[in-house]
Amino acid sequence: MPRKPQSRKTTIIESLFNLRWQGPGNPLTDPLVTLAQVEEAIGEYNSDNPQRPLSRLNPANFLKDFIRNKASANSNWPPSVLERGYTARQATGEGLCFEFVRLQSGQPLPFPITVIPAPGPNVVTVALQSASMPLASRRLGRRDEAWLIQVIARLKVIESHLALCSPRTFFQVDLLQTNVKLARAEIDALFLGIEQLPDIQPAQLREVVIACEAKGLRDDILEDQLIAQVKATFRMAAVNQDTVMPIAIKAIAPSRVYVVQFRPVNRLEAADLSSLSVESEAIYELIPPVPGVGK
Protein backbone atom coordinates (compact mmCIF):
# COMPACT_ATOMS: atom_id res chain seq x y z
CA MET A 1 0.00 0.00 0.00
CA PRO A 2 1.30 3.50 -0.75
CA ARG A 3 2.58 5.29 2.32
CA LYS A 4 1.18 8.60 3.45
CA PRO A 5 2.63 11.38 1.26
CA GLN A 6 5.63 13.04 2.88
CA SER A 7 6.84 15.48 0.23
CA ARG A 8 6.02 19.17 0.49
CA LYS A 9 5.66 19.12 -3.27
CA THR A 10 2.57 16.92 -2.93
CA THR A 11 0.52 19.85 -1.65
CA ILE A 12 1.92 22.22 -4.27
CA ILE A 13 1.18 19.86 -7.16
CA GLU A 14 -2.34 19.32 -5.89
CA SER A 15 -2.96 23.06 -5.67
CA LEU A 16 -1.68 23.60 -9.21
CA PHE A 17 -3.95 20.83 -10.46
CA ASN A 18 -7.01 22.15 -8.61
CA LEU A 19 -6.62 25.51 -10.34
CA ARG A 20 -7.00 23.70 -13.68
CA TRP A 21 -9.70 21.18 -12.77
CA GLN A 22 -13.13 21.79 -14.34
CA GLY A 23 -14.92 18.68 -13.19
CA PRO A 24 -15.27 15.09 -14.48
CA GLY A 25 -15.40 14.77 -18.24
CA ASN A 26 -14.02 18.25 -18.86
CA PRO A 27 -10.48 19.05 -20.00
CA LEU A 28 -8.10 20.98 -17.78
CA THR A 29 -8.06 24.69 -18.43
CA ASP A 30 -4.36 24.40 -19.32
CA PRO A 31 -2.35 21.22 -18.67
CA LEU A 32 0.96 23.06 -19.00
CA VAL A 33 2.54 24.50 -15.85
CA THR A 34 5.09 27.29 -16.18
CA LEU A 35 8.14 27.99 -14.07
CA ALA A 36 6.53 31.21 -12.86
CA GLN A 37 3.40 29.35 -11.75
CA VAL A 38 5.49 26.81 -9.85
CA GLU A 39 7.43 29.58 -8.15
CA GLU A 40 4.21 31.36 -7.21
CA ALA A 41 2.69 28.14 -5.84
CA ILE A 42 5.81 27.51 -3.75
CA GLY A 43 5.55 31.02 -2.37
CA GLU A 44 1.91 30.45 -1.35
CA TYR A 45 2.84 27.14 0.27
CA ASN A 46 5.67 28.79 2.21
CA SER A 47 3.28 31.49 3.47
CA ASP A 48 0.98 28.80 4.85
CA ASN A 49 3.84 26.63 6.15
CA PRO A 50 6.56 28.99 7.43
CA GLN A 51 8.09 26.23 9.56
CA ARG A 52 8.79 24.02 6.50
CA PRO A 53 9.47 26.34 3.56
CA LEU A 54 10.49 24.99 0.15
CA SER A 55 13.19 26.74 -1.86
CA ARG A 56 12.01 28.85 -4.80
CA LEU A 57 15.48 29.15 -6.34
CA ASN A 58 15.29 26.40 -8.97
CA PRO A 59 11.72 25.77 -10.19
CA ALA A 60 13.11 24.15 -13.38
CA ASN A 61 14.02 21.07 -11.31
CA PHE A 62 10.69 20.95 -9.45
CA LEU A 63 9.26 17.89 -11.22
CA LYS A 64 12.60 16.48 -12.35
CA ASP A 65 13.69 16.01 -8.73
CA PHE A 66 10.22 14.77 -7.74
CA ILE A 67 10.25 11.89 -10.26
CA ARG A 68 13.96 11.09 -9.93
CA ASN A 69 13.04 7.98 -7.92
CA LYS A 70 9.86 6.36 -9.23
CA ALA A 71 8.92 4.60 -5.99
CA SER A 72 9.10 7.87 -4.07
CA ALA A 73 7.23 9.73 -6.82
CA ASN A 74 4.38 7.20 -6.77
CA SER A 75 4.14 7.44 -2.99
CA ASN A 76 4.08 11.22 -2.99
CA TRP A 77 1.85 11.90 -5.99
CA PRO A 78 -1.35 13.58 -4.74
CA PRO A 79 -4.02 10.86 -4.32
CA SER A 80 -6.76 13.25 -5.40
CA VAL A 81 -4.97 13.95 -8.70
CA LEU A 82 -4.48 10.23 -9.31
CA GLU A 83 -8.16 9.55 -8.55
CA ARG A 84 -9.12 12.13 -11.15
CA GLY A 85 -6.99 10.29 -13.72
CA TYR A 86 -3.89 12.41 -14.09
CA THR A 87 -0.13 12.11 -13.84
CA ALA A 88 2.57 14.48 -15.12
CA ARG A 89 5.62 14.66 -17.32
CA GLN A 90 8.46 17.14 -17.46
CA ALA A 91 8.39 19.97 -20.00
CA THR A 92 11.29 22.29 -20.77
CA GLY A 93 11.81 25.39 -22.85
CA GLU A 94 9.59 28.46 -23.30
CA GLY A 95 9.33 28.94 -19.55
CA LEU A 96 7.67 25.56 -18.96
CA CYS A 97 8.15 23.24 -15.99
CA PHE A 98 5.82 20.27 -16.45
CA GLU A 99 2.54 19.11 -17.95
CA PHE A 100 -0.41 17.27 -16.42
CA VAL A 101 -1.31 14.29 -18.64
CA ARG A 102 -4.07 11.69 -18.46
CA LEU A 103 -3.29 8.21 -17.22
CA GLN A 104 -3.24 5.49 -19.83
CA SER A 105 -6.10 3.01 -19.78
CA GLY A 106 -5.53 0.54 -16.95
CA GLN A 107 -2.53 2.44 -15.59
CA PRO A 108 -2.52 1.93 -11.79
CA LEU A 109 0.47 4.12 -10.92
CA PRO A 110 1.15 7.72 -11.89
CA PHE A 111 4.73 6.78 -12.83
CA PRO A 112 5.05 3.17 -14.03
CA ILE A 113 8.31 1.67 -12.86
CA THR A 114 10.38 0.13 -15.65
CA VAL A 115 13.84 0.13 -14.12
CA ILE A 116 16.94 -1.17 -15.89
CA PRO A 117 18.21 -3.71 -13.33
CA ALA A 118 21.52 -3.45 -11.54
CA PRO A 119 24.47 -5.32 -13.08
CA GLY A 120 24.52 -9.06 -12.49
CA PRO A 121 27.48 -11.03 -11.13
CA ASN A 122 28.75 -11.93 -14.60
CA VAL A 123 29.09 -8.38 -15.91
CA VAL A 124 32.73 -7.70 -16.77
CA THR A 125 34.67 -5.10 -14.77
CA VAL A 126 37.21 -2.98 -16.64
CA ALA A 127 39.93 -0.89 -14.98
CA LEU A 128 40.06 2.60 -16.47
CA GLN A 129 42.74 5.20 -15.76
CA SER A 130 41.76 8.54 -14.24
CA ALA A 131 45.31 9.89 -13.86
CA SER A 132 44.69 12.19 -16.85
CA MET A 133 42.17 14.24 -14.84
CA PRO A 134 43.68 17.49 -13.51
CA LEU A 135 44.15 17.59 -9.76
CA ALA A 136 42.25 20.89 -9.64
CA SER A 137 39.09 19.27 -10.99
CA ARG A 138 39.37 16.43 -8.46
CA ARG A 139 39.18 18.93 -5.60
CA LEU A 140 35.75 20.00 -6.81
CA GLY A 141 34.36 16.48 -7.18
CA ARG A 142 30.62 16.33 -6.41
CA ARG A 143 27.88 13.73 -6.26
CA ASP A 144 25.61 15.25 -8.88
CA GLU A 145 24.98 14.04 -12.44
CA ALA A 146 26.69 17.07 -13.98
CA TRP A 147 29.97 16.06 -12.33
CA LEU A 148 29.47 12.40 -13.30
CA ILE A 149 28.96 13.25 -16.98
CA GLN A 150 31.99 15.57 -16.86
CA VAL A 151 34.10 12.70 -15.54
CA ILE A 152 32.69 10.35 -18.18
CA ALA A 153 33.55 12.82 -20.94
CA ARG A 154 37.03 13.61 -19.63
CA LEU A 155 37.98 9.94 -19.23
CA LYS A 156 36.31 8.89 -22.51
CA VAL A 157 34.27 6.18 -20.85
CA ILE A 158 31.77 6.02 -23.72
CA GLU A 159 34.55 5.74 -26.29
CA SER A 160 36.26 3.02 -24.22
CA HIS A 161 33.06 1.03 -23.85
CA LEU A 162 32.27 1.12 -27.56
CA ALA A 163 35.83 0.08 -28.38
CA LEU A 164 36.17 -2.69 -25.78
CA CYS A 165 32.73 -4.09 -24.96
CA SER A 166 30.31 -3.25 -27.75
CA PRO A 167 29.27 -5.85 -30.34
CA ARG A 168 29.38 -3.02 -32.89
CA THR A 169 32.41 -1.59 -34.67
CA PHE A 170 32.89 2.12 -34.13
CA PHE A 171 35.76 3.92 -35.85
CA GLN A 172 35.22 7.28 -34.21
CA VAL A 173 33.17 8.77 -31.37
CA ASP A 174 33.02 12.50 -30.63
CA LEU A 175 31.32 14.42 -27.84
CA LEU A 176 28.82 16.89 -29.29
CA GLN A 177 27.28 18.55 -26.24
CA THR A 178 26.48 18.05 -22.57
CA ASN A 179 23.36 19.07 -20.64
CA VAL A 180 21.02 19.24 -23.64
CA LYS A 181 17.61 20.67 -22.66
CA LEU A 182 14.80 19.84 -25.09
CA ALA A 183 11.05 20.37 -25.07
CA ARG A 184 10.12 17.07 -23.44
CA ALA A 185 13.43 15.62 -22.31
CA GLU A 186 16.86 16.45 -20.99
CA ILE A 187 19.89 14.56 -22.25
CA ASP A 188 23.07 14.55 -20.20
CA ALA A 189 25.34 14.18 -23.24
CA LEU A 190 25.14 13.67 -27.00
CA PHE A 191 27.89 11.94 -28.97
CA LEU A 192 28.31 11.26 -32.67
CA GLY A 193 29.65 7.83 -33.59
CA ILE A 194 30.87 6.50 -36.93
CA GLU A 195 29.86 2.84 -37.14
CA GLN A 196 30.72 0.20 -39.68
CA LEU A 197 27.58 -1.66 -40.68
CA PRO A 198 27.98 -5.41 -40.11
CA ASP A 199 27.70 -8.07 -42.82
CA ILE A 200 27.74 -5.56 -45.67
CA GLN A 201 30.34 -5.73 -48.44
CA PRO A 202 31.92 -3.52 -49.46
CA ALA A 203 32.15 -1.98 -45.98
CA GLN A 204 29.72 0.88 -45.33
CA LEU A 205 29.80 3.47 -42.57
CA ARG A 206 26.93 5.33 -40.93
CA GLU A 207 26.61 8.13 -38.42
CA VAL A 208 24.90 7.29 -35.13
CA VAL A 209 23.80 9.87 -32.59
CA ILE A 210 24.45 8.53 -29.08
CA ALA A 211 22.14 9.85 -26.36
CA CYS A 212 23.70 9.39 -22.93
CA GLU A 213 21.86 9.43 -19.60
CA ALA A 214 23.81 9.65 -16.30
CA LYS A 215 22.46 8.54 -12.93
CA GLY A 216 23.86 8.94 -9.45
CA LEU A 217 24.15 6.31 -6.77
CA ARG A 218 20.59 6.72 -5.45
CA ASP A 219 18.76 7.13 -8.77
CA ASP A 220 17.30 4.50 -11.08
CA ILE A 221 17.94 4.02 -14.78
CA LEU A 222 14.42 4.40 -16.18
CA GLU A 223 13.54 2.90 -19.53
CA ASP A 224 10.78 5.40 -20.29
CA GLN A 225 13.19 8.28 -19.72
CA LEU A 226 15.66 6.78 -22.21
CA ILE A 227 12.87 6.26 -24.74
CA ALA A 228 11.78 9.89 -24.35
CA GLN A 229 15.35 10.99 -25.00
CA VAL A 230 15.55 8.96 -28.21
CA LYS A 231 12.33 10.51 -29.51
CA ALA A 232 13.43 14.01 -28.49
CA THR A 233 16.78 13.56 -30.25
CA PHE A 234 15.06 12.75 -33.53
CA ARG A 235 12.98 15.92 -33.18
CA MET A 236 16.08 18.12 -32.99
CA ALA A 237 16.40 20.26 -36.11
CA ALA A 238 20.16 19.71 -36.27
CA VAL A 239 19.85 15.90 -36.22
CA ASN A 240 19.50 14.50 -39.73
CA GLN A 241 20.95 11.11 -38.88
CA ASP A 242 18.52 8.18 -39.03
CA THR A 243 19.88 6.27 -36.03
CA VAL A 244 19.99 7.08 -32.32
CA MET A 245 21.60 4.75 -29.79
CA PRO A 246 20.78 5.23 -26.08
CA ILE A 247 23.43 4.60 -23.45
CA ALA A 248 22.95 4.79 -19.68
CA ILE A 249 25.66 5.32 -17.08
CA LYS A 250 25.07 4.84 -13.36
CA ALA A 251 27.43 5.27 -10.44
CA ILE A 252 27.13 2.06 -8.39
CA ALA A 253 29.96 2.35 -5.84
CA PRO A 254 32.88 4.67 -5.07
CA SER A 255 34.67 5.28 -8.39
CA ARG A 256 32.73 2.49 -10.13
CA VAL A 257 30.25 3.17 -12.94
CA TYR A 258 27.90 0.82 -14.78
CA VAL A 259 27.49 1.38 -18.53
CA VAL A 260 24.57 -0.08 -20.50
CA GLN A 261 24.44 0.17 -24.29
CA PHE A 262 21.07 -0.41 -25.97
CA ARG A 263 20.20 -1.46 -29.50
CA PRO A 264 20.14 1.56 -31.83
CA VAL A 265 16.75 2.90 -32.86
CA ASN A 266 15.90 3.79 -36.45
CA ARG A 267 14.03 7.03 -37.11
CA LEU A 268 11.08 5.12 -38.58
CA GLU A 269 10.79 3.05 -35.37
CA ALA A 270 10.89 5.98 -32.95
CA ALA A 271 7.22 6.97 -32.98
CA ASP A 272 6.06 3.53 -31.75
CA LEU A 273 9.07 2.80 -29.55
CA SER A 274 7.97 1.30 -26.22
CA SER A 275 10.93 -0.79 -25.03
CA LEU A 276 14.69 -1.07 -25.40
CA SER A 277 17.03 -4.04 -25.86
CA VAL A 278 20.36 -4.24 -24.03
CA GLU A 279 23.28 -4.95 -26.35
CA SER A 280 26.23 -4.68 -23.98
CA GLU A 281 27.08 -3.77 -20.40
CA ALA A 282 30.19 -3.35 -18.30
CA ILE A 283 31.42 -1.89 -15.03
CA TYR A 284 34.31 0.58 -15.12
CA GLU A 285 36.54 1.10 -12.10
CA LEU A 286 38.24 4.48 -12.13
CA ILE A 287 41.85 4.25 -10.97
CA PRO A 288 42.97 6.25 -9.02
CA PRO A 289 39.60 6.99 -7.36
CA VAL A 290 37.66 10.08 -8.49
CA PRO A 291 36.07 12.09 -5.65
CA GLY A 292 32.28 12.34 -5.74
CA VAL A 293 31.64 9.45 -8.12
CA GLY A 294 29.49 6.83 -6.42
CA LYS A 295 29.59 8.51 -3.01
N-terminal to C-terminal alpha carbon distance within the chain: 31
Of 124, 241, 150, whose CA–CA distance to 192 is shortest?
241
Query: Mind listing the pLDDT tens digit for each residue in 230-248?
Result: 999 999 999 999 999 999 9
Triad 220, 58, 291: Cα angle to 5°: 50
Euclidean distance between CA atoms 263 and 241, whole angstroms: 16
Euclidean distance between CA atoms 278 and 295, whole angstroms: 26
Confidence class for position 260, pLDDT limits 50, 70, 90: very high
pTM of the model: 0.67
SS3 letters across 229-247: HHHHHHHCCCCCCCEEEEE
Of 186, 184, 208, 179, whose CA–CA distance to 195 is shortest?
208
Of 273, 149, 169, whose CA–CA distance to 211 is shortest?
149
Mean pLDDT of 125-132: 96
For the chain, what percent of residues have pLDDT higher than 70? 97
Residue 83, Cβ density class (10 Å: 0-12 exposed, 13-18 middle, ≥19 buried): exposed
Q: So what's the pLDDT on residue 1?
A: 41
For 158-264, list the strands marked E by DSSP.
169-181, 186-196, 205-215, 243-253, 256-262
Q: Would you call 182 helix, strand, or coil by DSSP?
A: coil
Query: Mind listing the pLDDT tens digit for each residue in 71-122?
Result: 788 999 999 999 999 999 888 778 999 999 999 888 899 987 777 888 988 9
